[in-house]
A and B are shown apart, each in its own frame.
Chain A
Amino acid sequence: MKRTNKLFGVAALFNSPNEIIHAAKVIADNGYKNFDINTPYPVHGMDKAMKLKPSKLGYITLAFGLSGAVFAMLFMYWAMSIDYPQVIGGKPFFAFPAFVPVTFEVTVLLATLSTVIGLLTFMFGFPHNKQPLLDTNYMKNVSADKFGAVIYADDPQFNESKVKELFTSLKSHSVELVFEIEKETYPIFQPKFLMLLLAVAVITSGTTYFVLNKLLFMQPFNWMVYQDKITAQEKSDFFSDQYGMRTKVEGTVASGFIPYPYSGQTNPTETLSNPLLPTKKVLMLGQKKFLTFCSPCHGNYADGDSRLRGQFPNPPTLHSARAREFSDGMIYHIITNGQNVMSSYALQVTREERWAIVNYIRVLQRAKNAKDSDIEEIQKGLINASR
């Protein structure tokens, strides 16, 4: 380390603890403020000799310790009973006794760390390897077995010659002048630094990318993410066609799906009878399905007047005499089997829904061709309702 010729301080070495205590006393009594004593180990009674005030370190510790405790307890309360409340073994969400150990640990952790960091950085201003005293003959001695005193040049009543003779009067066996260290300066945008910047950026982002998008989807992290089981619409390598979903063997009957006996017949001689009653629930269902599947062609009120009119052979109205004479079973047959242009809706509409649609169509038909009697009935209904 290059040194300037600016004086930093005058340092003197002594041999015994007694001497140094004495020296410290004298220097302090002479009213020096910026002086220091360097000893290889703490010499007892030095505080008094140097007239030092007791250390304030304890307050940092206290402050951080308490805040640690409070923080830990509050955080656990929030996490366990507000943000993520879970029933655990029937315990209450805020299980105070169970939170004590963690609280204690956090307290101690914060207290100790704050103490040490406070000590080293704020009180000592460490790390500080450019301090002029370092790397001097003086320092070598005090860190071995000598005891040293130093008076800094920035002391208000510092005067090199005075200090020197003070030390000699104290029988210091060697007095040494310590000079300031030359300050090195670093320009900011030197290419070296920019390279470093770039490298760091690339490495961090590279690792982030790798971890988030590659590593976390590699074994073993992806175990259970990819399941051996085959869910709906999944591919299976077992079958040559790779369809995970199979179709049933022809001629078999799944429970609840006895094949429709009259499929394929255009005018079946006999048909099924309607199992559903026109209850409100059924009719609502029927309406829903009718509007979804039938109305695009037959129109919302089954008049055969949908926007498709003219683009196809016109879809018939369901209010024709013929349509009204159809048995329920026949309408069901048509939905199931299809008729002329109309294709089968068996796959889109379940059996129950088909019967519901049939019932709904009946409602439409009756509404379209209402008789006075119906109106009377309705009024009766209204009157009953009003009563």
Chain B
Amino acid sequence: MTAWAVALSAFGSLTLLLLIGVPVGFAMVLVGAGGIALAISPMAALSLLGQIPVSNTMSYELSVVPMFILMGSFIARSGIAADLYAVCNAFVGHRRGGLAVATVLACGGFAAVCGSAIATAATFSKVAYPSMLRYGYHRGLACASICAGGTLGILIPPSVIMVIYGIMTGTDIAKLFMAGVVPGLLAVFLYAATIRAIVWRRPAAGPAGERAPWAERLRLLGRVGPVVALFALIMGGLYFGVFTATEAAGVGAFGAFVFSALRRTMGWREFMACAAETARLSAALFLILIGALLFSNLMNFTGLPRALQGFVMSFGVEPYVVIAAICALYVVLGTFFEELSMILLTVPIFFPIVTGLGFDPVWFGIVIVMVVELGLISPPVGMNLFVVQSTLDLPAGLLFRWIIPFVAADVVRLALIVAFPAIVLWLPALMR
């Protein structure tokens, strides 16, 4: 069978399995191993089935994944989100739309110590939504700003998605983290601008809050000091090469642990709950990783990446057309596919093409993260929309109209990053 036939039947049967509700990781294990058995040899399939789960979990480097999840879990339960929100409110809440802008700013701050978009959105649903409602904000604007702000969780480092991309492609995780900083600030700015534009057209959607005196602002600022310290510890350590991403994750988790313990908002029961949750999530996540590795072994055996590269080259199109096509494909896939498995399945295939065309692996990583962000808030099945709706028990569909301007802001940002790669690559280039 040719590479194309194998790839088509593999992706076809995978889609079928997923549609009938088989969990993603197990479906990929089945198709990957089954495909290798049929296309190569049953013995090869059986031996990989034993080898991959053992050697790819007993790995020092991969401990970066559970440690960053643990850090985010501690942070999410520590109650720091409320403090961050209070600070941002004190500074911008008195402006029109200020509470929504404060939500986005606080999400950005939270994202600096948490690597998950879902956790960020879920946390701020509880923290920011009630006070926006109290000040008479439109429910749609309140929710949309939380959904959009939540996506910052994976763009502003640390980011679990960047870690996974780095592991899959062998790209330096520290550089990926540095690369996320400026686009993250750009994202905060564009979201804030979007909110201002919305309340300029519909002032009733986001009335101004109370003005906080400077003494109050400064007092609140002191309370979020530890978050700044934690972020500085991780990023500073990575920037100056004091430790690797793996070590940064362990130290970051420990820092979050100490920080939460000092706040006295968490006892042993909560710490154990966070750790147990991390263990369960790691199991679910590594299963997907194992499945994806089997799947990409199948693709490599059959030579799909090379076949696809040859196919793309044969057109002789501009490299940027290829990037645009890949982005478009991701946006379409992302509207119904689960984002992490989408990345794990497709990046091994696209990565050689993209780097072969001369694009920077770090830059492509950030592009991928942004496309995922877009998928998270794209109606009808964006995961963040779902999380916010179900956390707040709101009717489905309420958000769809209000999220569109934020989706547009994401598209603008993606276009800027593609047009000006320096936005991404400037900071990592300064490292050592």
A, B co-complexed: no
Residues of B within 8 A of A (CB): none
